[in-house]
A and B are shown apart, each in its own frame.
Chain A
Amino acid sequence: MNAVQLLTCPLCGHRFDAAGHVACESCPLQSGCQVVCCPACGYQTVDPRKSLFGRLAQTLFNSSRLPGGATRPDRVGLTLADVPPGWRARVVGFTDRVSPDRQARLQAYGLIPNYWVSVVQHSPVTVVRLDNTELALETELAGEIQVQSIKEGLEDENSQ
């Protein structure tokens, strides 16, 4: 259950979802086609999710400038990845790169808006404490969890 992966048009830079084949919907060869047209400028791009050679090329040249290399937009605000070990912070929400399923899971573990989370470490992975649970999550994922008002110390504040 992955979030929609957007392609970036190498010609005009427009980011779009290749799954719908929006710009080439009427093409008779569209089903199973490994090439997709950019809805903004019509430029044909290889969809690396469909084309084995596309993925191979992407691997060999390892370039995010190649078709389909989604670039990472700049971070907004403070995230859990920025909280130093031994400090705690209050969860605000998630960035839109966290899929709804993933959000539901994180919330089920207790990463709920207005809750205090203590950060134990960031390397090799981020380890946080909430309630009486210790959770390990990849630091990149921690970077998608927005927080505010950080404080020093690991005490649990959720009961207050």
Chain B
Amino acid sequence: MSPEPRMVEVRKNVLKQNDVIARALRERFREEGILAVSLVSSPGSGKTTFLERTLTLLRPKYRVAALVGDLATENDARRLARSGAPVKQITTGTLCHLEASMIQKALDGWDVGKLDFLFVENVGNLVCPSSYDLGEDLRLVLLSVTEGEDKPLKYPTIFISADVAVITKMDLAEAVDFNEPALDRNIEAVRPGMQILKLSAKSGEGMQGFLDYLHKFQSLRPQAASAF
């Protein structure tokens, strides 16, 4: 007879491998003075349009680049490249999210020189990306006015994983009877104190407010530890 089963304690984080790579990336960004900003949202919320506009506005003064994740096609990379910034597509095949190792792989051997800002556009998905740290300094969750004000209540986990909520397509607010106070209330309920920025990448409204926020965040972040 075989002995009774026994319990052994393990206590290991399942995503440890991802977290280790993410930490290394964060360290690398800090040392190189890069501010890494990632974007998550459902498909069709306007991530690519918003990012194209952001890259175009930042490029005259800053060195910027972008990584963009999709299951298939290089369409988004082509669109973003119109901004003139270096862009690299990460195609995930059937994977519904980006992982830290994909960012690392995409950056290795990509000669973009020194950067001030690196943007990472995640695969359009409001569920899976919340589990994966990509080493970013700032995670934006985008939500367009056409999606419904209760989305934060339906997908609280992604809002909790993000730092800033960016409300897009504000130029359509009136046409879709967007209920602004209801959305503010719902975001505040799932993530008290969350910064909310409202804008339209198409009309340009609110874009300056976003750039101001980025600059402020950049100036306040801790610099690489100096040697004593």
Verify that A and B bind, or say they do not: no
